[in-house]
Amino acid sequence: MIPQLWADRLSQQLESSGFSLWDCMIVASKDRQVSWRNGEVEDFKEITEIGYGIRLWKDDRLALAYANDPSLDVIRQTIQKAAFMLSYATPDPFNTIPESISSGFKLSEPDDEITMRPMAQKMTLLNELEKAIRAEDARVTKIEHLGFSESLDQMMYRTDKTDWCVQKSGYAGVGGEAIAQANGEMEAGSAYDYKTRWGDINPEKLACRIATSATEQLGGRPVKTGLIPVVFDADVMAHFLGTFVDLFSADKVQNQRSVLANKKGEVIASSLVHLTDNAILRDQLGSYSWDAEGTAGGVTALIQKGVLTEFLYDRRTASKESRQSTGHGHRHSYRVSPQISPSNLILSSGSHSQEDLLTLFPECMLVKQVMGMHTCNAVNGDFSVGATGHWVEKGNIIHPIKQVTLAGNWLKILSDIVQIANDVDNFPIHGNILTPSVALEKLNLAGL
C-alpha cells in the first residue's frame, strides 16, 4: 500500500536535514463502507489515505509536522515546519527517542478473504442478513439500517537509529438496527460484529442478536428504586471497561487524574477479577507487533486476583519513573503524537453460563443496555446512566425493564463482582475489549 518511493525520499531528506534525533511514521489506509436499506444499496464510500508524520528532537524539545505529499519540496517544507516549531516547544527531559524498534511477535497478515471478495458478495451478505432478521421474529417491522465496513491499514516506522519496520492490519464489520412493534408500542435494537477474519463473521448469530435487541424491550416497565443485585451482559461490561480504562493510564495517574493513583499493590476489586491488556493475541482487532514508538507489544497484567498490579505506559511516562514502556504509545493518525491507549483489554472469564449467574439471587436485574456513558466521571469513577434489561426471579425472566437509572462507582462495581460467566465476546470499544457477563452483589437502581 505504501510505495517504497515515499520511504526512500523521507529517509534521504531526514538523514541530510542536519538533525540527529528524529523519527518518521507513514500510514496508509483503505476503507470501504456500504449502507443497505430495503433490499438495496443506500450509500457506498471508499476512502483511501496516505500520509506521514515527522518528529524532531533537540535540547529536550519535541515537534511534530505532517503532510500527505511525497514530493521532495513538500518533505523539505515539512521538516522545516517541525524545525520552526521546535523553538516554541516546551522543554521536557522525558521526551525520548527509541534506540531500536523491538518485536517478539509477528502480526498475522490481513485476511485476503476480506479485501479480495467482490463488493457484490458483501452486498449479498447484507441482503441475506436483512431477510434473516425479519425471519427471526414477526414483531420486527422495519430494518432501519444495515451496514458493512472493511479496513486495511499499513504502518511504516523508523528513527534516525533504525531501518524501516512495517506492520499491517485489517478487519471487517457488519451491523444493523431494527424496529419492533407490538400492542401499539415500538422499540429499536441494534448489534454489530467486527472480526479480523472473514470466516469468523456469523450473520445468522448477528441476525438473532439484532432482532432480539429490538423485541426484548417490548412491554418493558420500570421497577421500584432500591439496592439490588444485577447481572451485566457482556456488552454492558464492555462499555464500562471502555469508559474507565483511562484510569489505568500512567499519564492520568502521574497527573493525579485517576482514582487509582497511589493504589498500586492494593486490593481494588473482587479476587475473581483478572484484567489484562494483551497486544499479542492472534487475530484480534487490537493486536500489534510494536506500538507507535517502536516498543514491542506484550502482555500487561493490570489487576490480578483483585490487586492493582500495573498501569499502561508509553515512553514519556515510563521515562518519568525510570522504567520501561509497556508498549501502549499509540498514534491514531500520522497527524498526532503518541497517546496511551489499550490494545486488547481482557477480563478473564469464569466457568459459568450467564443463565447460571441469574440463579445466584432470588431476584435481580439483567442489564442489557446502558445509555449516557459519556456522562461518567472518568477521574473518580462515579456514574449515573440509563439502563434497560429484564427483571429476573429465581433465574426466570419475568418482564422487560426500562426507564431506570443505575448509579454507583466503577471501583465498587469491581469489588462487588461475585461471579463471572464464560460467554466472552469482543467489542471494538476504546481499542478492543474481550469480556464475559458478570454478576454484582448490589447496585443502586432508581425507578419508580
Looking at residue 106, its pLDDT comes to 85
The cell numbers describing 309, all together, are 498490579
Rounded Cα gap, residues 432 and 341, in angstroms: 10
C-alpha cell at 12: 534521504
Model pLDDT, residue 105: 83
Instruction: State the average pLDDT over residues 53-80.
Output: 97
Query: Tens digit of pLDDT for each residue in 167-205?
Result: 999 999 999 999 999 999 999 999 999 999 999 999 999
Answer yes or no: is 431 within a domain.
yes
- Grid cell 531501518 in the structure block, residue: 163
Q: How confident is the model at residue 68 (pLDDT cuts 50, 70, 90)?
A: very high
Together in a domain, 91 and 209: yes
My answer on whether 207 and 313 are in the same domain is: no
pLDDT tens for each residue of 377-414:
999 999 999 999 999 999 999 999 998 999 999 999 99
Q: Which domain holds residue 127?
A: 4-215
Which of the listed residues 170, 193, 215 is the one where a domain comes to its end?
Answer: 215
* Inside any domain, residue 316: yes
Domain end residue (candidates: 196, 215, 234): 215
Do 164 and 230 lie in one domain? The reply is no
- What pLDDT score does 15 carry? 97
Is 139 part of a structural domain of the chain?
Answer: yes
One domain for residues 252 and 110? no
Partner residues linked to 447 by β-bridges: none
Whether 207 and 232 map to the same domain: the answer is: no
Q: Is residue 100 part of a domain?
A: yes
Give the contacts of 9 (CB within 8 A, at least 6 positions apart): 70, 72, 75
What cell numbers appear for 158 in the block? 523508523
Q: Cα separation of 383 and 373, whole Å?
A: 8
Residue 132 and residue 167 share a domain: yes
Residue 198 lies in a domain: yes
pLDDT at 97 over 90: no
Final residue belonging to a domain, choices 188, 215, 242? 215
Question: What is the chain's mean pLDDT, rounded?
Answer: 96
Rounded to whole angstroms, the Cα distance separating 319 from 57 reads 15
Confidence of residue 327 (pLDDT cuts 50, 70, 90): very high
Average pLDDT over residues 41-49: 95
Give the model's pLDDT for residue 268: 98
Q: If we measure between CA atoms, which residue out of 164, 213, 155, 183 comes closest to residue 11?
A: 164
Residues 197 and 231 in one domain: no
Instruction: Give the Cβ contact number of residue 125 at 10 Å.
Output: 20
Statement to judge: residues 243 and 179 lie in one domain? no
Give the number of other Cβ atoms within 10 Å of residue 255's Cβ. Answer: 11
- Whether residue 221 is contained in a domain is answered as no
Tens-place pLDDT, residues 5-25: 999 999 999 999 999 999 999
Strands 22-37 and 40-58, how do they pair? antiparallel
Residue 447 has a pLDDT of: 85
CATH number at residue 161: 3.30.2290.10
Q: Are residues 167 and 234 in the same domain?
A: no
Residue 220 is assigned to a structural domain of this protein: no
**Spatial separation of the C-alpha atoms in residues 302 and 430, rounded to whole Å:** 16
The CA-to-CA distance between both ends of the chain, in Å, stands at 57
Q: Are residues 18 and 102 in the same domain?
A: yes
Mark whether 107 and 167 lie in a shared domain: yes
Per DSSP, 290 falls in state B
Judge whether residue 122 has pLDDT over 90: yes
Same domain for 431 and 295: yes
Number of domains in the chain: 2
The span from the CA of 280 to the CA of 268, in Å, is 26
